[in-house]
């Protein structure tokens, strides 16, 4: 770069690559959840909880040739320095020792000269690393759940508002039997309800690694407590409780099974597929001019084409959702190559895949809420598109009406087939509008039902039980799922960049 030192200093923040997930998109709360400050404070909390548990069950340590218990002063010193982290010292120690956990053990010990000897006592690196990851994943899901509930709530409102609005159903992206705009919203809602259930299940299924030692056998702790199995069980239970976890794994290697990561990221990736489906639908509907995402007053759709109203929110969601869906492959590969009790080739991969899965999910929820709060529906355009296709769809109803007038079904079918082909030619070849109904009205053969044609072409008669299905679905499934999140449903999502 041809810049002076002064210019380089001016742009210091922008000289190095920054992840767009944290620099551009993600919420502060999710960024902080996976930030270094929370990570290393949690490490220190785990060391504190372990020392407290060892003190509680009566551990004796050798200090200057004398056996004694852990003191209140030592515990207090650990508490007082939970947030007193010398990051520069930690970096220096890691460069020297090539071991991040031991670097922070020495950094914590330097801040706690009385308690240095009891930090990490009997533990392995995975004690702080794995248990912290489990806490961060649990806390991350707790951040996501109310946000997903808000998205469901906003979509529910749109579904109710447009439960009776007929619209062309599309199968194979071709015109099909009518549905309603509200019913279509319920297709998206149903996927998100499944995601809500998956998030809740994954969170509730997370177990703590706990206090297990180097290969998960708790041998080091059994040695510390002179073979007292009950005391080893007790410290495991105490630390698990202090961490706010309901239970800990009984069986693990050096690490908790990476199947937990697979399970967790799979739920997030599955949510990504729900987002991609919904946003793809919105993008297609925007092309048809039936529905649009919000478009700000000063927003520019194209630098060249001033008229453009690009669905950039939905496009961004699809882009991010693709990456989210791919991350589950990382967790599966990582789990599959955990040789015996563990392999360290999981570490660098997990530093990327786990935070990114949560950050992307968080970003998607912020955007989806914004989209759902500002969806714009164009009923007149929808009805215009219906009018282009409904005459063809109404042919079966017309045949049945003629049969009721004692006309021959096969003869009627042939008459309407010929008229339909003529009307299709006008639409496809001549570029005209669908004039099938005018042709039927001009045909003496169909005179017996001429006065019924308007009612036979009423779009409301083609939507089946769609409105009733919307009401039943919301009352039976959506509202009960949202009940526990009633206090979390307020607040709008602001889309800034």
Please name the residues in contact with 303: beta carbons below 8 A apart, sequence gap of 6 or more. Answer: none
Q: Which residue spans of the chain are classified as CATH 1.10.40?
A: 395-456
Give whichever of 53-62, 103-112, 406-415 has the largest mean pLDDT.
103-112
CB 335 within 8 A of CB 261: yes
In 10 A of CB 190, how many CB atoms?
14
Per-residue pLDDT band for 391 (boundaries 50, 70, 90) equals confident
Would you state the structure tokens that stand for residue 253, as one six-digit string?
A: 């290697």
Tokens matching residue 104: 């922070």
Give per-residue pLDDT as tens, 358-390.
999 999 999 999 999 999 999 999 999 998 888
- In the chain, residues under CATH classification 1.20.200.10 are 125-213+236-376+476-488
CA-CA distance, 446 to 431, in Å (whole number)?
A: 26
Contacts 24+ apart (CB under 8 A), 37-43: 37/85, 38/136, 39/132, 39/136, 40/85, 40/90, 40/104, 41/82, 41/83, 41/85, 42/128, 42/132, 42/135, 42/136, 43/101, 43/104, 43/128, 43/129, 43/132
Decide: 139 and 251 in contact? Cβ < 8 Å.
no
The overall pTM is greater than 0.85? yes
How many distinct helices (H) and strands (E) make up the chain?
22, 6
Give the N- to C-terminal CA distance of the chain in Å, as an integer: 28
CATH placement of domain 395-456: 1.10.40
- Name the architecture of domain 125-213+236-376+476-488: Up-down Bundle (1.20)
CA distance 476 to 470: 10
Residue pLDDT, tens place only, 254-313: 999 999 999 999 999 999 999 999 999 999 999 999 999 887 555 555 545 545 578 889
| pLDDT beyond 80 at 200 | yes
Catalytic residue positions, numbered: 172, 302
Transcribe 135-166 into DSSP letters. Answer: HHHHHHHHHHHHHHHHHHHHHHHHHHHTTT-E
**CB of 57 closer than 8 Å to CB of 63:** no
């Amino acid at each position: 770069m041809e810049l002076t030192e002064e210019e380089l200093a001016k742009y210091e923040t922008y000289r190095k690559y920054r992840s767009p997930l944290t620099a551009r998109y993600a919420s502060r709360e999710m960024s902080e959840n996976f930030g270094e400050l929370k990570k290393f404070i949690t490490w220190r909390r785990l060391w504190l909880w372990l020392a407290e548990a060892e003190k509680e069950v009566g551990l004796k340590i050798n200090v200057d040739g004398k056996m004694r218990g852990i003191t209140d002063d030592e515990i207090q010193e650990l508490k007082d320095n939970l947030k007193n982290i010398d990051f520069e010292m930690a970096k220096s120690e890691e460069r020297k020792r090539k071991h991040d956990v031991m670097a922070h053990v020495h950094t914590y010990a330097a801040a706690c000269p009385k308690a240095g000897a009891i930090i990490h006592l009997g533990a392995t690196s995975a004690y702080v690393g794995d248990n912290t990851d489990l806490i961060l994943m649990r806390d991350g899901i707790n951040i996501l759940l109310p946000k997903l509930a808000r998205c469901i709530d906003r979509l529910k409102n749109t579904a109710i508002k447009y439960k009776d609005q007929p619209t062309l159903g599309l199968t194979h992206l071709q015109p099909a039997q009518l549905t309603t705009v509200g019913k279509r919203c319920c297709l998206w809602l149903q996927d998100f309800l499944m995601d809500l259930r998956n998030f809740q299940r994954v969170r509730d299924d997370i177990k703590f690694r706990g206090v297990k030692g180097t290969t998960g056998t708790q041998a080091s702790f059994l040695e510390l407590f002179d073979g007292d199995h009950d005391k080893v069980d007790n410290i495991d239970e105490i630390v698990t409780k202090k961490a706010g976890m309901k239970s800990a794994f009984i069986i693990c290697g050096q690490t908790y099974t990476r199947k937990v990561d697979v399970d967790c990221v799979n739920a997030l990736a599955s949510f990504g597929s729900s987002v991609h489906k919904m946003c793809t639908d919105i993008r297609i509907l925007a092309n048809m001019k039936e529905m649009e995402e919000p478009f700000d007053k000063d927003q520019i759709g194209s630098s060249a084409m001033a008229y453009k109203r690009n669905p950039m929110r939905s496009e961004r969601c699809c882009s991010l959702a693709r990456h989210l869906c791919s991350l589950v492959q990382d967790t599966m590969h990582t789990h599959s190559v955990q040789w015996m009790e563990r392999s360290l080739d999981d570490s660098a991969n997990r530093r990327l895949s786990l935070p990114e899965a949560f950050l992307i999910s968080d970003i998607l929820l912020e955007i989806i809420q914004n989209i759902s709060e500002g969806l714009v529906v164009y009923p007149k355009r929808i009805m215009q598109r219906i009018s282009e296709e409904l005459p063809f769809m109404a042919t079966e109803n017309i045949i049945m009406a003629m049969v009721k007038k004692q006309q021959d079904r096969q003869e009627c079918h042939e008459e309407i087939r010929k008229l339909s082909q003529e009307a299709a030619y006008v639409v496809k070849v001549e570029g005209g509008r669908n004039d099938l109904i005018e042709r039927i009205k001009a045909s003496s053969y169909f005179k017996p039902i001429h006065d019924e044609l308007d009612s036979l072409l009423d779009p409301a008669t083609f939507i089946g039980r769609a409105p009733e299905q919307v009401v039943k679905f919301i009352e039976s499934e959506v509202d009960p799922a949202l009940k526990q999140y009633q206090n979390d449903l307020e607040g709008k999502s602001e889309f800034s960049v």
